[in-house]
Structure 1
Amino acid sequence: MSETPATESSTAPAATEAAAAAAQRAPRSTDGSARPITPGSQAAAGTYHAQPVSFVRRGTRLQGRRQKAWEDHSDALAVDVPRHIADTSVHPDFVFDAAAEFGRVAPLVVEIGSGLGEAVVNAAKNNPDKDFLAVEVYTPGLAQTIQKIVANGLGNVRVVQANAPEVLGTMLPAGSVSEVWVFFPDPWHKTKHNKRRMVKDTFAPLVARVLAPGGTWRLATDWSTYAEQMLAVGTASADFTNIYDGGRAGADSPLTQARRSGVDCEQSDVPDEVGGWAPRFDGRILTSFENKAHKAGRVIFDLAFRRN
């Protein structure tokens, strides 16, 4: 029995339903009206839906001093980013102008996942000749960073609420950054969640894009399996050279120490003979987060790669 070709009248209801469903999914403006789908919003949709993001949205509500800091100072200290799909997306046509933002030309350091701002604010205070951009998705963390910036009277720090791959992929001009820091990103330590880790093979080209030749990519983590992944990603990239290739191997290796303690991996007496670990970066303040890791007996891993 042959199939009967669908007629226009039979497909119209389905098409109408599909259009209605698409309209429900369309991005909305603050007044509730649908925003047009543009190349920018399509790019953002691809960023958010083509692969897992490395964060899960937590509470964004501000109260007390954080709320006041945000209300009083975000206009001056938070980069105003055009959005489309989500409040952490970046329109691909937007390009950050550091010279205009800071009123000078200076080396730019970008911290991805700045948390409560402890590391970036301390670094900015100790390096007034450099400018710093703190990239974070959580509003409370950004508000607390702003509090610290104001309390220290700093003019060389800005914050931005944005998804890191978009900041590195389009927002920052190519070759405009002297250092990129990724300190203690979410380890997503369960095997089924490893795909959410930020530092993976697709992340290295984004970091390489924004770094000037000779620029430095610094990383730190307190999870041995993530440290091994970070080392593998940097080593495999043709864009980077491990500054400490072969360093801290054998008994001096943090991986050897982690294996012997068994605190976050299977206990083993097999030493790490490869190495490649950097000494602790003395420009990174001991944050409350890192302190908790030390108290839990975790080993800290540092890495440093130079942009070729």
Structure 2
Amino acid sequence: MTHPEQPNTEPQNEELQENKYLRRIRSFVLREGRLTKGQQRSLDLFWPTMGLEYQTTPYDMKAVFGREADLVLEIGFGMGKSLVQMAKAAPEKDFIGIEVHKPGVGACLGEAETEGVKNLRVFEHDAIEILNDSIADNSLSTVQLFFPDPWHKKRHHKRRIVQPEFAQLLRRKLKIGGVFHMATDWENYAEHMLDVMKVAEGYSNLSETNDYVPRPDHRPLTKFENRGVNLGHGVWDLMFKKVN
């Protein structure tokens, strides 16, 4: 690793500086809730077959899943209910979830077992490190980022995960034609996402109006989202395709 005081003399330093920035920024607060007995049981029973540990070299996902299939990665799946629903509804695809909160990981594993879902694996680790180190370049068909922490105070906007450096990290990991799908119920964050992605090199907006897309059928309507819609809150979906 290059020492931070070493001068920028090599072309690769630009990418190195970008990775150092991404590793330094934390877009989440680790609120480690107490595990229920059911969540702990699910972790004990199902992590050995469905859990993936962070590693510094990319996984061979064909070996992990025992087949070659389109690979969908979701960042921050919460309690995992909608991720499990999507995996169950698309058995022809393979799904990877990343979540830093252990209770959510346990809940997701239990839900997957209950629903008989076999095409899902999960990480309990920081998404930026997973993307940088454990996921191969040009390997993902879809990256999903649904309802991330909006960091609504202006002084905290720099902590939002959708930033120019993050867009380019995902671009490296997506296949040509792969899609970065975002959703938020904060209009200001939706505008921020749109501003970042509109000028992001190598992407094309899938919106016919060059802004937002209707919620696609494959993204489940969560209880939280449905409650917000009933209260008159908006939800914005954005989908950008990697074109080069």
Q: What is the TM-score normalised by the length of structure 1?
A: 0.70
Q: Give the Cα–Cα distance (whole angstroms) in 1 for the partners of residues 114 and 213 of structure 2.
A: 32
Cα distance, 1:46 vs structure 2: 4.8
Could you tell me whether the CA contact under 8 Å between 1:66 and 1:144 is conserved in 2?
Answer: yes
Residue 47 of structure 1 and its aligned partner are, at CA, apart by 6.2
In the alignment, residue 71 of structure 1 is paired with which amino acid? D
CA contact (8 A) 1:168 1:209 kept: no
What is the DSSP-based 3-state SS (H/G/I as helix, E as strand, rest coil) of the residue aligned with 2:59?
A: coil
Q: 1:73 aligns with which of 46, 54, 63?
A: 46
Where in structure 1 do 4 or more consecutive aligned residues deviate above 4 Å?
45-48
The within-5 A match list for 1:263-302 is 276-302=211-237
Alignment-derived partner of residue 99 in structure 1: 62
* Alignment partner of 2:102 out of 123, 135, 139: 139
Measure how far apart 1:162 and its partner are.
1.7
CA radius of gyration, larger in = 1
Q: Within 5 Å, which residues of 2 pair with 1:138-287? A: 138-245=101-208, 247=209, 276-287=211-222
The offset of 1:60, in angstroms, is: 4.6
* CA displacement 1:257-290 (0-9 Å, x = unmatched): xxxxxxxxxxxxxxxxxx5111112111111231
The AA in structure 2 aligned to 1:69 is: S
Cα distance in 1 for partners of 2:241, 2:36 equals 41
Aligned-partner Cα distance in 2 for 1:236–1:168: 22
Q: What is the number of residues matched between the two proteins? A: 226
2:34 alignment counterpart: 61
Q: Which runs of 5+ in 1 are unaligned?
A: 1-42, 83-92, 248-274
Separation (CA, whole Å) in 2 of partners of 1:201 and 1:80: 27
Q: Is the 8 A contact 1:116 1:141 kept in 2?
A: yes
Q: Tell me, which stretches of 5 or more residues in structure 2 are unaligned?
A: 1-16
Q: CA deviation at 1:64?
A: 1.2
CA contact (8 A) 1:169 1:209 kept: no
CA contact (8 A) 2:78 2:99 kept: yes
Task: Quote the Cα distance in structure 2 between the aligned partners of 1:234 and 1:47.
Answer: 18
Q: What letter is aligned with 2:235?
A: I
Identity of aligned residues (%): 38
Counting only pairs closer than 5 Å after superposition, residues 22-61 of structure 1 correspond to structure 2 as 46=20, 51-61=24-34
What is the DSSP-based 3-state SS (H/G/I as helix, E as strand, rest coil) of the residue aligned with 1:106?
A: coil
Cα displacement (A) at 1:59: 1.6
How far off is 1:120 after superposition?
Answer: 1.3
Q: Residue 211 of structure 2 contacts residue 238 of structure 2 at CA under 8 Å; is this kept in 1?
A: yes
Q: Distance in 2 between matches of 1:47 and 1:296?
A: 38
Q: Distance in 2 between matches of 1:142 and 1:238?
A: 33
* 8 Å contact kept, 1:124–1:132: yes
Name the SS of the counterpart of 1:65 in structure 2. helix
How many Å separate the matches in 2 of 1:46 and 1:169? 10
* 1:41-89 per-position Cα deviation (integer Å, ceiling 9, x unaligned): xx9x9568x743001111253221111111111111110224xxxxxxx
